[in-house]
Chains A and B, each alone.
Chain A
Amino acid sequence: MNLNVEAEKKNTYDAIVVGTGITGGWAAKELSEKGLKTLVLERGRDVKHGDYPTATLNPWELPNGDRPTQEDLKTQGVQARTGYTVRPSSKHWFVNDLEHPYTETKRMDWMRGYHVGGRSLMWGRHSYRWSDLDFEANAKDGIAVDWPVRYADIAPWYDYVESYIGVSGQSESYPYLPDGKFLPAMDLNCAETELRKSVKEKLNRIVTPGRVAHATAPMPHTPWRGQCQFRNMCIRGCPFGGYFSSNACTLPAAEKSNNMTLRPNSVVYELIYDEQKGKATGVKVLDSETGEQVEYYAKVIFLCASTFGSTFIMLNSISKRFPNGFGNDSGELGCNIMDHHLGVGANGRMDGMEDQYYSGRKAAGFYIPRYRNIGKDKRDYLRGFGYQGGGGRQGWARGVAELALGADLKNMISEPGKWTIGMGGFGEFLPVHSNRMTINHNKKDKHGLPVIDFDAEYKENEFKMRKDMMADAAEMLEAVGAKNITTHDNLAAPGIGIHEMGTARMGKDPKTSVLNKYNQVHACKNVFVTDGSFMTSASCVNPSLTYMAFTARATDYAVSELKKQNL
């Protein structure tokens, strides 16, 4: 009896955070720094900042020119659907698909890695703010449910997270892509500069340096981070701490507070709900190394296990109060899957500027913010899209198709080739109730847990939008005088944007949403969900900065509620 009480006490914390990715790291930092004894549970292995095995390998030190082997493709066939994740330099950051399977009623390309830091190690680092164009969209279009917040609620939190992580960018005073607290922008190169000029003159649109979470200036408040060294090997992990990751930024801060306990290899599979108290009291954990099942308890729980990860935990937490999944009074849990659709754009070649080049390897090109369905512009689809793109000079690959051979070939190739420029669109994906995930008990993963089944697809609005995404890209390249313009539209499947969101949306009404405006589960106020699952609509901008802002806001609210003894 005594032993049980002691064991329970040992496993009791003020707060539990599930996940250590983009949002888990932030929740860990905020809760620990605000004085809560915080248990941070990560399902994957530990990765300390600096433990990046391929980070400094030169091209000749990677096998097969960094191409995946046929063996790799057998174990990581789904992760390989992107065409770039399963390379010797980065495959260790992506799951073994045979150990972590899922089923596809409709195809879903689900990319992730299970380790401390999650996708904050491999992410693309583009960081853009929403505006009220995005927050008001559902209400204006009569789609899904209204966001329970507006830009004014989130702006101070964008300020807060941007200032902490460091975002390199350039102010443009464009109301639909609000400016942030920027570190120096990365230069546009010669071709990109020409594009910016021509697109502004001829089409009155903005081409701005990509706003990326890179330290392009010293940040004295996080002295353990270095600055971006312009190696462009980010996906491998950065020993300089040059870009934001939980490992380089938020987890060290949490550690310094002395209030965080980090427990890797801890797969949270269920929330523990106390019907009498009307609260969640903790989580059930499967230790992936020992197979042991352990319970941990806390006053407040933050689910930051990624969109599909957190919703899985909730769907798997069945009780008398919640027969359809934790907090699922509305029936919306698991529904309204969104992503950004991409794989559509244009490329071209530019004559001239042969005596100009660049030095260093920057990790961002340009960004073109949304201009469609704004003001007087009215298209045959709703919402809009932005572009990421870049310019550069051709390398050795151009030599294959040329007549040069031998010494001539060597000489030709040792000079940079013609300038090229290209861009790919990121399109908004409308929320639809029937685009959903459920739990499939007919299949098990390596831990013996049931798997997720996906049943989601692109709909008419997405297809219509892609016509503009392709044609507009070509038009902009024409504006800068590019030649040999080729367009492409390679539609893959939801998930390929690696911006999957929705499944536990926030809203004003508990009958039609899972979370309230503070990311609290309507039906159980001491559980917060702050990863992509809370998203009520998708916008077209990269979402991680928004997840960080909402997480910082929700943790602030949670702590103040705890102090008021409301939780």
Chain B
Amino acid sequence: MDRREALRKTAMLMGAAVSASTVGAFLYGCKTRPDLTYKPVFFNEDQALLISAASEIIIPKTDTPGAIEAGVPNFIDTLLKDCYKEEDQKKFLDGLNEFDQNAIKAFGNRFIEGSPEQQLDYLKKVHDEAVNAKKADPKTPQPFILKLKELTLLGFFVSEPGATQVLQYIPVPGSYKGCIPLKEAGNGKAWATS
């Protein structure tokens, strides 16, 4: 039973109407702490929740699935465990912790405790700063937020919804046409693989 349902039933049992602001308070708690959709093998629960929330901001559900529905948090968790060297795992987690500590400085709460607006504003600010810093000096080491963005994009575009709905993918093309109008190249979206 989710929180919304629990709240409604509690209100009924107590025979009282529940104020909109109270409902609001509970509901934002619902949105910003989505249940983990997988069992992490690398992250602890709090880190996993942060990655879930952040990846969904980077690639949200629109009229097509977002990062969570596409299994991106699970992808990132497994990739870090299986494929990263120990030193790179440590760098990533240090970056994650720093990101979370700076959230407290920014809006007084750990990232996963923030409201959706607080999370989005904070992430966007950190992200934009990182993008501009990289553009100014391409040699700066990759900041955590851009590492996360890259992993989110990777995980999303190797997923079935990412590859087949947001991009396009034909398993067996059968032929090759080298230079045709974009609108005649399948459905005109970018190909998922080359």
Collect the chain B residues with CB atoms within 8 Å of residue A361's CB. Answer: 173, 176, 191, 193-194
Q: Does B36 contact A (CB under 8 A)?
A: no
Distance (whole angstroms) from the CB of B11 to the closest CB of chain A: 34
Q: Which of A69, A358, A395, A413 makes the CB contact (< 8 A) with B177?
A: A358
For the complex, what is the distance from the CA of A189 to the CA of B175, rounded to whole Å? 13
Tell me whether A413 and B166 are in contact (CB under 8 A): yes
Q: Does B178 contact A (CB under 8 A)?
A: yes
Distance (whole angstroms) from the CB of B122 to the closest CB of chain A: 12
Known: A189-B179, A193-B179, A399-B153. A64 touches B160 (CB 8 A): no
Known: A361-B193, A400-B150. A58 touches B171 (CB 8 A): yes
Q: Does B7 contact A (CB under 8 A)?
A: no
Instruction: Count CB-based A-B contacts (< 8 Å).
Output: 167
B residues 176-194 touching A (CB-CB < 8 Å) = 176-186, 188-194
For the complex, what is the distance from the CA of A395 to the CA of B163, rounded to whole Å? 12
For the complex, what is the distance from the CA of A381 to the CA of B16, rounded to whole Å? 91
B residues 140-194 touching A (CB-CB < 8 Å) = 146, 149-150, 153-155, 157-160, 163, 166-167, 169, 171-186, 188-194
Quick check: which of A401-409, A440-448, A496-504 contacts chain B, the rest being far away? A401-409
Collect the chain A residues with CB atoms within 8 Å of residue B194's CB. Answer: 232, 361, 392, 395
Interface string of A380-401 (1 = CB under 8 A from B): 0000000000001101110111
Interface string of B117-135 (1 = CB under 8 A from A): 0001001100110011011
For the complex, what is the distance from the CA of A357 to the CA of B171, rounded to whole Å? 18
For the complex, what is the distance from the CA of A190 to the CA of B174, rounded to whole Å? 20
**Nearest neighbor of A404 in chain B, beta-carbon distance:** B131
Tell me whether A187 and B176 are in contact (CB under 8 A): yes
Q: Which of B85, B135, B190 makes the CB contact (< 8 A) with A396?
A: B190
Collect the chain B residues with CB atoms within 8 Å of residue A64's CB. Answer: 75, 78-79, 82-83
**Nearest neighbor of B57 in chain A, beta-carbon distance:** A406
Tell me whether B173 and A396 are in contact (CB under 8 A): no
Collect the chain A residues with CB atoms within 8 Å of residue B29's CB. Answer: none
For the complex, what is the distance from the CA of A253 to the CA of B62, rounded to whole Å? 54
Tell me whether B190 and A67 are in contact (CB under 8 A): no
What is the total number of residues of chain A having a CB less than 8 Å from a CB of chain B? 54
Q: Which of A188, A231, A395, A400 makes the CB contact (< 8 A) with B190?
A: A395
**Nearest neighbor of B82 in chain A, beta-carbon distance:** A69
Collect the chain A residues with CB atoms within 8 Å of residue B85's CB. Answer: 70
Collect the chain A residues with CB atoms within 8 Å of residue B127's CB. Answer: 403, 405
Collect the chain B residues with CB atoms within 8 Å of residue A396's CB. Answer: 153, 157, 167, 190
Q: Which of B59, B64, B79, B186 makes the CB contact (< 8 A) with A359?
A: B186
Tell me whether A359 and B149 are in contact (CB under 8 A): no
Distance (whole angstroms) from the CB of B65 to the closest CB of chain A: 10
**Nearest neighbor of A189 in chain B, beta-carbon distance:** B178
Q: Does A40 contact B (CB under 8 A)?
A: no
Q: Does B58 contact A (CB under 8 A)?
A: yes
Collect the chain A residues with CB atoms within 8 Å of residue B158's CB. Answer: 59-60, 62, 65-66
Interface string of A58-100 (1 = CB under 8 A from B): 1110111111111100000000000000000000000000000
**Nearest neighbor of A67 in chain B, beta-carbon distance:** B83
Quick check: which of A103-111, A267-275, A414-422, A530-538 contacts chain B, the rest being far away? A414-422
Q: Does A460 contact B (CB under 8 A)?
A: no
Q: Does B60 contact A (CB under 8 A)?
A: yes
Collect the chain B residues with CB atoms within 8 Å of residue A356's CB. Answer: 179-182
Q: Which of B58, B82, B120 makes the CB contact (< 8 A) with A63?
A: B82
Collect the chain A residues with CB atoms within 8 Å of residue B134's CB. Answer: 401
**Nearest neighbor of A415 in chain B, beta-carbon distance:** B190
**Nearest neighbor of A417 in chain B, beta-carbon distance:** B190
For the complex, what is the distance from the CA of A230 to the CA of B189, rounded to whole Å? 19
Collect the chain B residues with CB atoms within 8 Å of residue A357's CB. Answer: 180-182, 185, 188
Q: Does B38 contact A (CB under 8 A)?
A: no
Collect the chain A residues with CB atoms within 8 Å of residue B28's CB. Answer: none
**Nearest neighbor of A188 in chain B, beta-carbon distance:** B178
Collect the chain B residues with CB atoms within 8 Å of residue A193's CB. Answer: 178-179
Distance (whole angstroms) from the CB of B89 to the closest CB of chain A: 10
Q: Which of A65, A190, A355 makes the CB contact (< 8 A) with B75?
A: A65
Tell me whether A187 and B171 are in contact (CB under 8 A): no
For the complex, what is the distance from the CA of A68 to the CA of B79, rounded to whole Å? 10
Collect the chain A residues with CB atoms within 8 Å of residue B150's CB. Answer: 397, 400
Collect the chain A residues with CB atoms within 8 Å of residue B155's CB. Answer: 65
Collect the chain B residues with CB atoms within 8 Å of residue A313's CB. Answer: none
For the complex, what is the distance from the CA of A361 to the CA of B168, rounded to whole Å? 13
Collect the chain A residues with CB atoms within 8 Å of residue B79's CB. Answer: 64-65, 67
**Nearest neighbor of B155 in chain A, beta-carbon distance:** A65
Tell me whether A403 and B131 are in contact (CB under 8 A): yes
For the complex, what is the distance from the CA of A88 to the CA of B34, rounded to whole Å? 32
In the complex, 16 of the A-B residue pairs with CB atoms within 8 angstroms, ordered by the A residue number, are A59-B163, A64-B82, A70-B84, A189-B179, A357-B188, A358-B180, A359-B176, A403-B127, A405-B124, A406-B60, A407-B62, A410-B62, A413-B153, A413-B157, A413-B167, A416-B189
The 6 closest A-B pairs by CB, nearest first: A187-B178, A360-B176, A360-B173, A357-B185, A189-B178, A190-B179
Give me 17 other A-B pairs in contact (C-beta within 8 A), A396-B157, A396-B190 excluded: A68-B83, A229-B172, A230-B173, A232-B194, A355-B183, A356-B179, A356-B180, A358-B178, A359-B176, A361-B194, A397-B150, A403-B127, A406-B120, A414-B189, A414-B190, A415-B190, A416-B190
